[in-house]
């Protein structure tokens, strides 16, 4: 049945687990296929052309797995690779940027909004442009925070080193008196307590995972593809490299066994990327 087809979630590594967890809790009867490109992370230091090739190839893999909608849970990929992708692939695609922008605009009181993300994410100007279009009166203060992802993936999220790095990165946003900060990388909610401690409790942190859940629910509802009855959905994890820390990190973060784990082979050729998998 069409309703039983899974939702695909794509990320460069572990950051998309924040979106996965929101979808698993909010849409428990939907089956989920999580694709982590762990062989090619991080995306935040790669060129836009490289990211576009990787995203197109891996979404193609998810399409062949029969997903009914693909969620690009990577901010960098959403920023540089989604334009025209849904139309060309003939697959519904939900990114993380627009839901986060809508939530930030709704929550800000002063109109002074900060954005933190990877270098590629911030350099793309995606959040800055969308915020300006959504609320022309807002002032946007963007800050690249490239060390956050490796610190999180090394398991250093709660160490004094991460707090010191956060204090350095976030000082310009504090000086700008922002009242809302968009976490422009799906890794960053994993250090939300550190960011809140540094920025202060009066600053609203926008984690797009909840907004993405609402966007996916609306997308499936409009297409009559939302599964509201039946047993709990199945979960499959697909990784391009299973030799790293993803399985242990995911089990610790999700508080449950991963379920089915699939190794996906990826070949990179010059300017193009191809993907194939085995179930």
Catalytic annotation, residues? 74, 185
Element at 142 (helix H, strand E): strand 139-144
Within a 13 Å sphere around the CA of 102, how many CA atoms are in the beta-carbon half?
11
Q: How many residues does the chain have?
A: 279
- Torsion, CA 195, CA 119, CA 213, CA 166, rounded to 10: -10
> In this structure, is the dihedral angle defined by the CA atoms of residues 212, 14, 85 and 117, taken in order, positive or negative?
positive
The alpha-helical segments, DSSP class H, found in the chain are 17-26, 48-64, 75-81, 85-89, 97-107, 119-124, 126-134, 148-153, 160-175, 192-199, 209-222, 246-254
Contact 55, 41 (CB under 8 A): no
């Amino acid at each position: 049945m069409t309703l039983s087809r899974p939702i695909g979630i794509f990320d460069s590594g572990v950051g998309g687990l924040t979106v996965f967890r929101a979808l698993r809790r909010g849409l428990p009867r939907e089956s989920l296929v999580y694709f982590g490109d762990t062989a090619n992370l991080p995306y935040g230091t790669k060129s836009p052309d490289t990211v576009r090739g990787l995203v197109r190839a891996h979404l193609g893999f998810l399409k062949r797995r029969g997903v009914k909608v693909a969620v690009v849970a990577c901010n960098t990929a959403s920023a540089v690779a989604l334009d025209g992708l849904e139309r060309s692939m003939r697959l519904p695609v939900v990114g993380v940027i627009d839901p986060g922008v809508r939530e930030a605009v709704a929550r800000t009181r002063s109109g002074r909004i900060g954005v933190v993300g990877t270098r590629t994410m911030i350099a793309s100007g995606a959040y800055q442009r969308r915020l300006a279009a959504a609320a022309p009166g807002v002032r946007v203060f963007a800050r690249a925070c490239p060390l956050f992802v490796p610190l999180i993936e090394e398991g250093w999220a709660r160490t004094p080193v991460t707090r010191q790095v956060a204090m350095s990165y976030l000082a310009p946003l504090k000086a700008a008196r922002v009242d809302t900060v968009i976490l422009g990388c799906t890794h960053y909610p994993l250090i939300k307590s550190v960011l809140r401690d540094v920025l202060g409790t009066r600053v609203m942190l926008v984690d797009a995972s909840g907004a993405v859940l609402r966007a996916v629910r609306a997308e499936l509802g409009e297409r009559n593809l939302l599964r509201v009855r039946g047993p709990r959905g199945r979960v499959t994890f697909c990784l391009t490299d299973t030799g790293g820390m993803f399985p242990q990190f995911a089990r610790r973060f999700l508080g449950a066994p991963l379920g089915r784990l699939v190794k996906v082979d990826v070949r990179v050729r010059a300017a193009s990327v191809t993907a194939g998998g085995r179930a």
